[in-house]
């Protein structure tokens, strides 16, 4: 049996038959073990850049609708930090596999890199950054599975971060589809190697590490098995020799400048940290404010006819009336007042 996965605006768990919900094995991680791994609600992920989190594309089937990412800065999955999403970037071949037959076969699976890079507005210095390994993983390499998924025990324990050591095997061990090795790394499950770690719902998007390092070599994507349990764990390859060169695609996104709401509009913005905000008297100089809060409305007043006020580059009429905020820009809002009268001009948000 092949266990597939689906997702929505917030990450969803893998859809794995109850007969495959055996314990992930491994052990509960300490805070010092693979600390760049994070819980993302229904999925797992890993920090790979200052504002960049890597996960599985199937966790974000509707990437344009995701506005907030709840990330755990420690092993406590009940203590998330809300981050403002700038963009969710599913690999283009996953989104539009023109060479796929569309029959959900393993051949199609091998042609779809199940990887997503989420870029957020806020920095998270409390979370260490892992490194995406450019080197391919040879069969027989020691690797460590990580995830916040289920553990297959009743009653289920609280969501917690677990890790388990394993060794890579050839994907052709589990399926003869020749498209698979170019896109995926695999390890054996407990139905093949008793006691081996296995993926479970909630582990989707978690990183596969070279054991004992911060080098990420794969992303948890799929588990295959029978009614007797998990046979194989499948991880999207991230190296330079992977099909579609996933590594270069990721590095291009990570190295690109991350825009903020006020980028190219105004400089040195005053941060707004709450939904409800009152500027007070703006004075007569140019003013710039930036917010990533989930506000919905703004009003403004006291502006002379020669002075302008815009939000995310959209000019507003400041007559004291409530105005619905325009769409977010780079994860938030930029409130910009040009220089001019009156000194008592103002704006509020809520």
pLDDT in single tens digits along all 350 residues of the chain: 233 343 333 333 233 333 333 336 788 888 899 999 999 988 999 999 999 999 999 999 888 888 889 998 777 777 788 888 888 999 999 988 888 888 878 888 889 999 999 999 888 989 999 999 999 999 999 999 999 887 666 666 677 888 999 999 999 988 888 989 999 999 999 999 999 998 888 899 999 999 999 999 999 998 888 777 789 999 999 999 999 999 999 999 999 988 889 999 999 999 998 999 999 999 999 999 999 888 999 999 999 999 999 999 999 999 999 999 998 888 889 999 999 999 999 999 99
41 touches 11 (CB < 8 A): yes
Among 159, 114, 124, 161, smallest CA distance to 48 is for 124
263 touches 336 (CB < 8 A): no
pLDDT given for residue 60 in this prediction: 93
3-state secondary structure of 247: helix
DSSP string, 99-113: T--SS--HHHHHTS-
H or E element, residue 188 = strand 184-188
C-alpha to C-alpha distance for 36 and 40, rounded to whole angstroms = 12
Chain centre distance of CA 189: 26
Tokens of 57: 């594309």
Compute and round to an integer the Cα radius of gyration of the chain: 23
Backbone angles phi, psi at 223, to 5 degrees: -130, 140
C-alpha to C-alpha distance for 30 and 277, rounded to whole angstroms = 40
C-alpha to C-alpha distance for 211 and 188, rounded to whole angstroms = 16
H or E element, residue 94 = helix 92-95
153-174 core/surface letters (b: 16 or more CB in 10 A; e: else):
eeeeeebebbbbbbebbebeeb
C-alpha to C-alpha distance for 291 and 276, rounded to whole angstroms = 11
C-alpha to C-alpha distance for 241 and 185, rounded to whole angstroms = 12
16 CB-near residues (< 8 Å, 6+ apart):
3, 200, 201, 223
pLDDT given for residue 16 in this prediction: 31
pLDDT given for residue 10 in this prediction: 36
pLDDT given for residue 13 in this prediction: 29
Among 264, 239, 262, smallest CA distance to 250 is for 239
104 CB-near residues (< 8 Å, 6+ apart):
4
250 touches 230 (CB < 8 A): no
C-alpha to C-alpha distance for 49 and 117, rounded to whole angstroms = 10
Tokens of 12: 């969803």
Using the structure block, give the residue that is written with the tokens 């809002």: 333
Q: What is the reported pTM?
A: 0.76
Tokens of 300: 């403004």
3-state secondary structure of 171: helix
C-alpha to C-alpha distance for 241 and 136, rounded to whole angstroms = 6
Conformation bin of residue 183: beta by default, left when phi > 0, alpha when psi is -120 to 50 = alpha
DSSP H helical ranges for 138-271: 246-255
173 touches 186 (CB < 8 A): yes
320 CB-near residues (< 8 Å, 6+ apart):
299, 300, 301
């Amino acid at each position: 049996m092949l266990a597939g996965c689906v997702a929505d605006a917030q990450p969803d768990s893998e859809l794995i038959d109850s007969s495959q919900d055996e314990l992930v094995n491994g052990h509960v991680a300490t805070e010092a073990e693979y600390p760049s791994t994070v819980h993302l609600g229904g999925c797992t992920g890993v920090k790979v850049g200052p504002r960049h989190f890597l996960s599985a594309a199937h966790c974000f089937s509707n990437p344009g609708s995701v506005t907030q990412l709840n990330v755990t800065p420690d092993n406590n999955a009940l203590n998330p930090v809300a981050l403002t999403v700038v963009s969710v970037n599913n690999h283009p071949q996953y989104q539009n596999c023109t060479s796929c037959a569309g029959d959900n076969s393993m051949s199609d699976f091998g042609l779809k890199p199940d990887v997503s890079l989420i870029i957020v507005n806020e920095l998270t210095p409390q979370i260490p950054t892992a490194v995406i390994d450019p080197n391919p993983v040879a069969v027989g390499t020691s690797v460590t599975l990580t995830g916040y998924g289920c553990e297959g025990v009743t009653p289920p324990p609280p969501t917690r971060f677990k890790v388990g050591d394993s060794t890579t095997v050839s994907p052709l061990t589990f399926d003869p589809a020749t498209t698979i090795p170019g896109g995926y790394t695999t390890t054996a499950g407990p139905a093949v190697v008793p006691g081996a770690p296995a993926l479970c719902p909630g582990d989707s998007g978690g990183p596969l590490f070279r054991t004992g390092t911060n080098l990420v070599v794969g992303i948890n994507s799929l588990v295959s098995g029978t009614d007797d349990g998990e046979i194989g764990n499948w991880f999207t390859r991230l190296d330079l020799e992977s099909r579609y060169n996933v590594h270069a695609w990721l590095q291009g996104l990570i190295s690109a400048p991350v825009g903020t709401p006020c980028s190219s509009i105004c400089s040195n913005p005053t941060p707004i940290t709450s939904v409800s905000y009152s500027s007070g008297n703006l004075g007569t100089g140019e003013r710039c404010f930036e917010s990533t809060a989930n506000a919905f409305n703004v009003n403004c007043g006291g502006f002379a006819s020669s002075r302008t006020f815009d939000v995310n580059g959209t000019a507003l009429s400041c007559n004291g009336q409530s105005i619905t905020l325009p769409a977010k820009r780079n994860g938030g809002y930029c409130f910009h007042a040009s220089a001019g009268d009156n000194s008592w001009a103002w704006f509020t948000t809520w």
